[in-house]
Chain A
C-alpha cells in the first residue's frame, strides 16, 4: 500500500517493524503535497526542511528502540496553532508575517513523541466560517469535487487528510469547525469535551466554545491523537484536571445495550434526501449490531444558531482587540495618531467576515444592548445545555446528521451570511453545551459526495462515542473510499 494512504496505526506498525523510515514517509507526503496542492490549496505553509529534519530525528529515536504511537508520523496543523519559529497566520493578512514565539501545548505534546510537522493548513480567517472561503490565502477546494467547498473552518485540516497530503491533522471546533469539514471530506473528526484539551497557544476565537481535536482517516486514529493531546495543562486555566482514560481501550466492536437517542428536531422535513437516507442506513447498521434507538427531544434546537452568533461574536470582538498594530501583526503605514493607526491597521488586516463578526459582537456587548443580546443568549445557552442533560438521562449518546446537506459549491453561500450560518445548525448546539461529538463517514450521496454521521456524547463521554463510532466503522468501508485526484 502506498505510504501516503496509510492510517497512523498502520504507519506506526511499519515504522516500528523498521519496514519503512519516517524519512521515506515524510518525503512521500511532501511529494504528494507538491503534486496536488495547486488544485486543493490545503496548505498555507509547507515546512519541508523542518519536516525532513524532524523525520531524521524520529528515525534515530526508532533506531534506539523507542517508537511511540506518533513517533515519525507526518502530520499537519491548522494554521491557528502556534509553532515556534514557524509562520502562523490564522489565514489572515493581519498575521501574514507572524512568527510564533512558542509552541501550542498540543503541538509540544506531539513533538515530545517526535511526530513530524509537514506544514500549516488553510482555514477560514480566525476560524470564522463554514466553507474555507474566508481565507486571505484563497479558498481550499474539496478533494472529492474541486468545485465544492471542503467545509470550515478547519477545511484545510480535512482536505489535507482526504487528499492524502498528511496522515492526520489537528483542527479546532467552535461551532462545528472540525466535524463539518470532516463530514464534507469523508474523514473522521472529533470535537472533545470543552476543557479536555489545552488551548494554550491556540489563537482564540470564542473562548467559551473553542476546542482542539483530530481529523483522521479512521476512528482508531482519532483515539490515538486524542490520547496524545488530552489532559490538564497548567497554562490553560480552563483545561479540566480530570484523569485521561485509555481511549484505545474503548475501541470495542460492541454496541449491544447502548441506547442511542434520535433528537426529533434534527430529523425534519426538508433535510436533504441523501442525508436522510444516509442516516437511515446508519441507524439500520447500528440496530443490526444490537444498539437500541429511542426518540428524544432537544426543544431549544432552533434557537442555537442565534444564540451562538451572539455569544461567539461577542467573545470574538473581545479576543480580536489584541490586533492593534503595536505588538505584532499588520500596521498601516503613514498614519497620524495612535487611534487612527489602530483603526486603519485593523481595516487593512481583517477580511470581511472577521469585520462583520467583530461589528456584531461589539454591538451585542455595547451599552444598552448587552442585556437584550449577550445576556439573553447566555440564558438561552443554559436552556440548550439543559436539553442535552435531560436527553442523557434517557440515552447514552445521540445520533444526528453533521450538516443538512453534502458539501455545497464554492461561491454558493458567500453573499448571504445567514444562509452560511445555518449550515452549522446540527453542530453548534454541541459547543454551546460543552459536550463532545464525532463525525464519521456514513453512506455517501447519490452523486458520490461524502456524508458524515454525528455521534454526540455527554461531557467527558468520549469513550462512549468512540466505541459506537468504532463499531459502526467495522460494518462499513466508507472510511476507506478515497477521493480521486
Chain B
C-alpha cells in the first residue's frame, strides 16, 4: 500500500537464492528440508528479499539502529537464591530421560 511497489514488480527476481545457499542456511538453522521445500523456499525467499531491497532506497549511514523500541537498561536483582521449579517438573516434558538427566543420541561415536 501507499508507496509500496506493486506486487508484480516484486516478482521480477533481481537476485535469487541458490540451492547451495538454501542447503547452507538450512544446516545453520538445523532444519532438514525436502527437495520440494528447498525449491519452494528458494523461490519464496528470493521474492521476499527482493521486496526487502526497497530498504536500500533509504540512506541510513548516519542513523543508529533500534534494537528495542523502549529504552531499557540492565535489570538487576539481588543475588539471592530462589526455589526453582524442581527436577521432576523440569524433566516432565523431556522426550527421553534417565534418572535426573535428559538422554540424547550419542554425540561422539
Of chain A, the residue at the smallest CB distance from B63 is A379
Residues of chain B lying within 8 A (CB to CB) of residue A335: 105
Question: Residue A98 at the B interface, CB < 8 A?
Answer: yes
* Contact, CB under 8 Å: A385 / B85: no
Interface contacts (Cβ under 8 Å), in number, total: 201
Q: Which of B3, B49, B65 contacts A302 (CB 8 A)?
A: B3
Docked-complex contact B92 and A101, CB < 8 angstroms: yes
Q: Once the chains bind, are A378 and B67 in contact (CB under 8 Å)?
A: yes
Q: Is the CB of B104 within 8 A of A341?
A: yes
Q: Is the CB of A302 within 8 A of B30?
A: no
How would residues 38 to 60 of chain B score, 1 for a CB under 8 Å from any chain A CB and 0 otherwise? Answer: 00010011011101101110101
Nearest-neighbour CB distance to chain B for A387, whole angstroms, equals 12
Q: Which chain B residues border A375 with CB–CB below 8 Å?
A: 65
For the complex, count residues of A whose C-beta is within 8 A of B: 84
- Tell whether A338 pairs with B104 under 8 Å between CB atoms, given A234-B77, A418-B48: yes
Q: Are the C-beta atoms of A359 and B22 separated by less than 8 Å?
A: yes
The chain B residue with its CB closest to the CB of A376 is B55
B20 close to chain A: CB less than 8 A:
no
Q: How far is the CB of A414 from chain B (nearest CB, A)?
A: 12
How far is B63's CA from A433's CA once the two chains are assembled, in angstroms? 15
Query: Given that A101-B92, A265-B3, A331-B95 are known contacts, is A376 also in contact with B56, CB under 8 Å in the complex?
Result: yes
Q: Which residues of B contact A343 (CB under 8 A)?
A: 30-32
> Given known contacts A379-B65, A422-B1, is B58 in contact with A306 (CB within 8 Å)?
no
Whose C-beta in chain A lies nearest to the C-beta of B44? A417
Do B29 and A317 touch (CB < 8 A)? yes
User: In the bound complex, what is the Cα–Cα distance between A139 and B49 (angstroms)?
Assistant: 28
The one of A350, A356, A381 in contact with B66, judged by C-beta atoms closer than 8 angstroms, is: A381
B98 at the A/B interface (Cβ < 8 Å)?
no
Binds B, one of A49-57, A117-125, A266-274, A287-295: A266-274
Per-residue contact bits, chain A 310-331, to B (CB 8 Å; 1 contact, 0 not): 1000000100010011111111
B102 and A101: CB pair below 8 A? no
The smallest C-beta distance from B23 to any residue of chain A, in angstroms, reads 11
Min distance, Cβ B99 to any Cβ of chain A, angstroms: 16
A433 to B69, CA, bound (A): 6
Looking at A27-35, A214-222, A360-368, the stretch in contact with chain B turns out to be: A360-368
Judge whether A347 and B33 touch: CB under 8 Å: yes
Tell yes or no: A303 within 8 A of B by CB. Answer: yes
- In this complex, how many residues of chain B approach chain A with their Cβ under 8 Å: the count is 58
Q: Give A144-166 as 1s and 0s: 1 = Cβ < 8 Å from B's Cβ atoms.
A: 00000000000000000000000
**Within 8 Å CB of B64, what residues of A?**
379, 382
Residues in chain A near residue B65, CB distance under 8 A: 375, 378-379, 381-382
Q: How many angstroms between the C-alpha atoms of A425 and B41 in the bound complex?
A: 23
**Is A377 in contact with chain B by the CB < 8 A criterion?**
yes
In the complex, are the beta carbons of A306 and B41 less than 8 A apart? Answer: no
Do A418 and B7 have beta carbons less than 8 Å apart? yes
Q: Smallest CB–CB gap between B74 and chain A, Å?
A: 8
In the complex, A443→B85 CA distance in Å?
Answer: 49
* A270 contact from B1, B28, B30, B49, Cβ within 8 A: B1
Chain B residues near A (Cβ < 8 Å): 1-4, 7, 10, 17, 21-22, 24-26, 28-33, 37, 41, 44-45, 47-49, 51-52, 54-56, 58, 60, 63-70, 72, 74-75, 77, 85, 89-90, 92-96, 102, 104-107, 109
- What are 28 of the A-B contact pairs (CB < 8 Å)? A101-B89, A101-B93, A195-B72, A237-B72, A266-B2, A302-B1, A302-B3, A303-B54, A305-B51, A307-B55, A309-B52, A317-B29, A338-B107, A341-B105, A344-B32, A346-B32, A360-B48, A360-B49, A363-B25, A366-B25, A366-B28, A377-B52, A383-B58, A385-B69, A418-B47, A422-B4, A434-B68, A435-B69
Q: Which residues of A contact B (CB under 8 A)?
A: 97-99, 101-102, 193-195, 208-209, 234, 237-238, 240, 265-266, 268, 270-271, 300-303, 305-307, 309-310, 317, 321, 324-331, 335-344, 346-347, 350, 352, 355-356, 358-360, 362-363, 366, 373, 375-383, 385, 404, 417-419, 421-422, 425-426, 432-435, 459
